[in-house]
Amino acid sequence: MRKSNVLIGVAVIMLGLVSGCGSTAAPKATDELKIGGLLELTGGVATYGQSVKNAIDLAFEDQNKNGGVLNKQLKLITADNKSEAGESTVAITKLITQDKVIAVIGAVTSSNTKAAVPVSADNKIPLITPTATNATVTVNSDGSLNKWVFRSCFLDPFQGKVAADFVTHTLNLKKAAVLIDQSDDYSKGLAAEFKKIMESSGGTITDTENYVAKDKDFKSTLTRIKASNPEVIFVPGYYNEVGLIVKQARELGIKRLSYFVMRS
């Protein structure tokens, strides 16, 4: 299914939720429906946020040409979370309290979405993330489902298992090192599942190392990984850091290993 169709469906579902749950934020008599876009438009993962915005723009334009939704035109109001969790809270607060949106699409990453969830739930405004995969995004602290938060993608446990299965069954490798972005829920979630499945399949995790987003020098970390003699390095990270990691690994002579990188 095309992204545009998915996003149109998202908008329709959201509008049904708003009216069905009796939210105080139900749309007033107007010719347009304001939908918030809580997106990473600048910062470390801006290419993802920009891509999602482009998809929403296309979907809304297409739907509006065909009469909109509930005989109203869709209007996207964006707020830039700058690829940071703290800014994500600020941005969704603005969308809800100042822009008066009736629903929110975003954020793109798990950490930024989790930061926005309490604001969404407290104000009873539906939020749906297209790509936040952390398992706890849609779950309350007591383990119950959050009725205001939704997603249209698979979860970290699924991705981590697929990655581990690929390493053990397709690449036929048994020794893996893992390099984790400790500042990112996505990275930590994938790494945890990958390690669990690898070990349950008879594989070995030779080393687990950490870094933090915006780090530039990974050579000492990669030297330790190299000394553990892995057959594959699993790096569930983003393109800014992963590009540097691969480049510096090659400079250190780590050339014959397999790299399995998620969302780079």
Are residues 131 and 223 located together in one domain of the fold? no
Are residues 147 and 23 located together in one domain of the fold? yes
How far is 106 from 120, CA to CA, in rounded Å? 11
CATH code for position 30: 3.40.50.2300
Are residues 130 and 200 located together in one domain of the fold? no
Quote the domain boundaries for residue 206: 156-262
Of 87, 96, 3, 106, the closest CA to residue 44 belongs to 87
Does this model's pTM top 0.85? My answer is no
Are residues 131 and 243 located together in one domain of the fold? no
| Distance (Å) of CA 224 to CA 229, 230, 249 | 9, 11, 11
Are residues 174 and 110 located together in one domain of the fold? no
Q: Do residues 243 and 216 make contact, with C-beta atoms less than 8 angstroms apart?
A: no
Last residue of a domain, one of 151, 184, 214: 151
pLDDT digits (tens, 9 = 90+) for 197-230: 999 999 999 999 999 999 999 999 999 999 999 9
Are residues 124 and 206 located together in one domain of the fold? no
Are residues 213 and 146 located together in one domain of the fold? no
pLDDT digits (tens, 9 = 90+) for 11-36: 544 544 444 444 444 445 578 999 99
Q: Do residues 120 and 129 make contact, with C-beta atoms less than 8 angstroms apart?
A: no
Are residues 146 and 164 located together in one domain of the fold? no
Are residues 231 and 116 located together in one domain of the fold? no
pLDDT confidence band for 264 (50 / 70 / 90): very low
pLDDT digits (tens, 9 = 90+) for 35-83: 999 999 999 999 999 999 999 999 999 999 999 999 999 999 999 999 9
Counting the structural domains of the chain, the total is 2
pLDDT of 255: 75
